[in-house]
Structure 1
């Protein structure tokens, strides 16, 4: 069997699902995949659906789109992102991708060169490692500090960077940690990148999904200090991950990265890879303009509620602890204390036995770079979340040393 370090998140979740004991007849509750649409409380707004249907029925968008994306789509996204920046993006800064995953692949492909390395957070999103392996780009991991709100260990970044370092990846709001970085911390990151003359890959697929103390600040705010490649999508904020509508954006007002050579490389790359469906691209302008704020407010309210449920329930499970309250995104990391469990060896063993015995799916921390942690997705129905974590509590009680002592007594 492959280990979690060399399979995708979907792959390891598939293995966990296959380990469920169907004879127990418990309904499966998955808190492993970051797809909120699995639960009925997370549905997109009518304007999103209606616009796509209208475009499809119009038969105006059955042909190919330009490889870099429809002009009106690029323009709408440039205006949408510019609302939170101190300068105006151009439609030419925007390239439409098949979700944020393709945007990641574009970023790494464009930066690939002999001996290049990219700095990536640990814990983080494993797609970066998979994409880099295909392009022979070295990945160097810097730690996120759980006791400091999962901030970047900037001293580690300094130590890891050398003459072959081309970029640092910043995921904000954070997947898998649920952190939202402050303006001050993002500025320090930008200053560090500038010092080392590297650019920033800003993974903002969870952009604006912030419900805690820190508001969402796009990394592009610091584009005048250091070139920023902004990656994003409709997937999470509009609750349509299956539509695969994302973007790769050069937030680089001084043109340090956006030179003729790099622009030509980008266009050539998009000439050989397909983007999202034309009729979905055509819906983007109206989606961005007409979505009501109440839709976003409702989503944030549910995520705040479910993250609070997670924290409360985890406090009832002695083998799990959460160092920081989630402030955004849709998942959090919980530390697993295996010393309290009499027959669990590590986070992988914990998640496999939990799936088999309780039909609850959590993601082993090793999958995202942290041994003896688990990732819990809180983008779920509140009642399902409570039931799942109650089952985790029952699992702990069965496997704890304390239970053994009680039986002996």
Structure 2
């Protein structure tokens, strides 16, 4: 007994709190805590990736009706199979096959609780003593957090800002060794707003094949491309290298809270089946939770009944918003955007600290911006680039204009005299 308290034997896992701090959610929660409650202006959130709260991004009525019909049918109140119900897997296989040179089978599709669970499952399936995985920098920090949680070593290759955020493939080759199991790409890009060309993706496939590693292709923003480069799925190169494709309905349909994602084997040569990677993935799914069955039940109608006009309107809104964002940033002396966004919902912006007073780094910039202007940006260090910012344009255009005007006033106020 010490101080009258019994000495309990359990202890918290110390690395979990530190790992969660560097996630997007962890950082934004901290910044939200710094909001000045006395500021009467509305808080403008330009750091998140959830467009669903804005009316211009509301999902299609066809998707809402599909959910209601699924729930009221009383056919989907049961537990679902580990990999997901067959009609949903068949519908997703057909949906993804439209962009591929071969046909996917429902057996290639595994349903998950959003794309986050798909990431968790594939990293868990790859984890083994001594193994390492190659991750993009900047990237999506959930990969680092979940790799650390699975005791999977991670190494970073750079995305090149002066080349439209292409992958530094020389770095990939230099980083890989006999214990490297996979590389991750995110296309369209979070956090950079880039869209990889067909030619670049082919080089990625050839590099990975030469190294004997698989490609994990995070395509949660699939088909959200509004620039010069069309979206090309990594699975198009599945005959060159085995690919695991991760995705969801969260972003394209603006329904992240519906928590329906997928992990798809885009590997027509059957390498992942022969090496028992598919078996390992199923083993991980057997001990994890499933997406809600009624959401799965709605998937066939969501995919079939959503009209192309809905997607065109969303892309037009994002294009307009990204243009506003890019032009407004150019008016702020201490911020530089090296590449105009062409997809997803984000852009990376570099801070020139030499032009500012009383600003130590990107985290300090974001905390003071929140306190002084009620505007939330995401510090670049969260996604791997110190003294950069990730700004989302998946908000109402008027909010982007207002938020970036406030950021301009903030930078002018802190400018070196």
| TM-score when normalising by structure 1 | 0.96
TM-superposed deviation, 1:84: 0.7
Deviations 1:216-241 (A, max 9, x none): 00000000000000000000001100
TM-superposed deviation, 1:67: 1.2
**Retained in 1: the 8 A contact 2:122–2:281?**
no
Aligned length: 401
Counterpart position of 1:97: 112
Q: 1:4 to 1:359 in 2, by over 3 A?
A: farther
In the alignment, the residues of structure 1 paired with residue 129 and residue 20 of structure 2 have an alpha-carbon distance, to the nearest angstrom, of: 25
Superposed, 1:3-402 pairs within 5 Å as 6-259=21-274, 261-401=276-416
| TM-score when normalising by structure 2 | 0.94
**Retained in 2: the 8 A contact 1:4–1:366?**
no
TM-superposed deviation, 1:259: 2.5
Deviations 1:150-206 (A, max 9, x none): 000011001100000000001000000000000000000000000101000000000
In the alignment, the residues of structure 2 paired with residue 4 and residue 143 of structure 1 have an alpha-carbon distance, to the nearest angstrom, of: 21
**Retained in 2: the 8 A contact 1:5–1:366?**
no
Name structure 1 gaps, 5 residues minimum. 405-409
In the alignment, the residues of structure 2 paired with residue 107 and residue 86 of structure 1 have an alpha-carbon distance, to the nearest angstrom, of: 24
In the alignment, the residues of structure 2 paired with residue 122 and residue 38 of structure 1 have an alpha-carbon distance, to the nearest angstrom, of: 29
Q: Secondary structure at the match of 2:347?
A: strand
Counterpart position of 2:8: none
**Retained in 1: the 8 A contact 2:136–2:156?**
yes
> Which stretch shows the higher mean deviation, 257-266 or 121-130?
257-266
In the alignment, the residues of structure 2 paired with residue 292 and residue 14 of structure 1 have an alpha-carbon distance, to the nearest angstrom, of: 36
Q: 1:333 to 1:260 in 2, by over 3 A?
A: closer
Q: Secondary structure at the match of 2:56?
A: coil
In the alignment, the residues of structure 2 paired with residue 375 and residue 4 of structure 1 have an alpha-carbon distance, to the nearest angstrom, of: 19
In the alignment, the residues of structure 1 paired with residue 408 and residue 270 of structure 2 have an alpha-carbon distance, to the nearest angstrom, of: 54
Q: 1:324 to 1:260 in 2, by over 3 A?
A: closer
TM-superposed deviation, 1:268: 2.1
Name structure 2 gaps, 5 residues minimum. 1-16
Q: 1:72 to 1:260 in 2, by over 3 A?
A: farther
**Retained in 1: the 8 A contact 2:273–2:279?**
no
Deviations 1:282-306 (A, max 9, x none): 1111111111000000000000000
**Retained in 2: the 8 A contact 1:4–1:367?**
no
Q: Secondary structure at the match of 2:232?
A: coil
Q: Secondary structure at the match of 1:332?
A: strand
In the alignment, the residues of structure 1 paired with residue 78 and residue 48 of structure 2 have an alpha-carbon distance, to the nearest angstrom, of: 33
In the alignment, the residues of structure 2 paired with residue 282 and residue 299 of structure 1 have an alpha-carbon distance, to the nearest angstrom, of: 25
Deviations 1:335-392 (A, max 9, x none): 0001100110110000000000000000000000000100000000000110000000
**Retained in 1: the 8 A contact 2:21–2:27?**
no
Counterpart position of 1:407: none
